[in-house]
Amino acid sequence: MSDEQQSGVCSESSDYKLAKAAARPGAIVKLPLGTPDAIWVASAPHLELLAQIQESVRAMTEQFTKNLEGLFSHAAQISSLLSSQLGVLDEFRESVCSNLVPLMERLAEIGASLDWEAILEDSRRWGSYGWAITNDQFTYNAPPRCPSSLEEADAVYLSFLDVDALIAGLEGSVAKKVDFREAVELFRERHYKPCAMMLCSLIDRELFRACCGPRRDEGGKHKQRSWSRELKKLKGSLSDGSDAELSAMAISIIDFANICEAVDYFFRAGDDFNREREGELNRNFLQHGMMYKPVRRKTCIKLFVLLDAVSSSLPDALGYVSDLAKG
């Protein structure tokens, strides 16, 4: 045998024999000693990590199942509670519906029995003394009768008026809150003349907002607007109103008529500062330094009440009265 042949025999090493044996069907590969242990050592960390992942998944699944069970339990309790409450609500709804018709009929009877013309005249008389009627001060099914003199009217109105509550409620409805707070501070410090000046300015602004609305240009020119002209025009439309119209919109018309009288009490024309036109307080005399009389605490209270009326009651009343005038 030649050297090459011997070399060829030797070239069939153990690796070649192993591969050749593995290629035969049913062959069993015998690994060298120590190989399984090496594989186990190498794969042990991965197997341990896999076991940890499996344990975490199992724990999460158990916790999720418990949470779902708790959620379904609460949902069942809520459903049971709602079912019981809905039964109570159904009974309440049926009770309200069954009593609503007779209640409305009774209110209609009360409204028909009231002398709206007399109430309207009474509200105008209150306004002619400088006292505005706000929704919080009177109930129209039994308004206090207005006395026949200014002194008596002042005493009656002040007897049921909570000035602190009035001022506290006003701050939320007045647009110029800084000016309002300054007026209140002047009132607390008994500086009644500057307080009255600020209140008149605030009332003027609220009247302008309610009666004139936002500025509108017509034909490229600014339209001259006046809240006094708007009020006068609407007051004229009411003078032709029928009794049927009064009963249909009684409260709004009463509000409007009263506020118009109270506004005129303080804002009427001065007629070149005629002393007979000054009255208790005339805004024109006050703003031009032409007053002959001192401003009293009671007068400032009247102005607070009027500010409340023009900022809260007048906008709604104007809406109804404007619709009535258009109709």
- Residue 288 half-sphere exposure toward CB, CA atoms < 13 A: 12
pLDDT over 70 (residue 188): yes
| Token pair of 299 as six digits | 């007068």
pLDDT over 70 (residue 130): yes
Bridge partners (DSSP) listed for residue 218 = 221
* Structure confidence at residue 220 (pLDDT): 47
322 burial (CB, 10 Å; 0-12 / 13-18 / 19+) is middle
Of 324 and 266, the structure prediction assigns the larger pLDDT to 266
Phi first, then psi, for residue 34 (nearest 5°) are 90, -15
Q: What is the band of 142 on the pLDDT scale with cuts at 50, 70, 90? A: very low
Are 274 and 143 within 8 A, CB to CB? no
In tens, the pLDDT along 147-162 reads: 899 999 999 999 888 8
Mean confidence (pLDDT) of the chain: 74
pLDDT over 60 (residue 17): no
Of 200 and 48, the structure prediction assigns the larger pLDDT to 200
Smallest Cα–Cα separation from 227: which of 315, 150, 156, 120? 315
Residue 161: strand, helix, or coil: coil
pLDDT over 70 (residue 18): no
Most confident listed range (48-57, 78-87, 204-213, 237-246): 204-213
Amino acid present at 244: A
> In the predicted model, what is the mean pLDDT of residues 29-50?
61
Sign of the dihedral defined by the CA atoms of residues 192, 197, 202, 207, in that order: positive
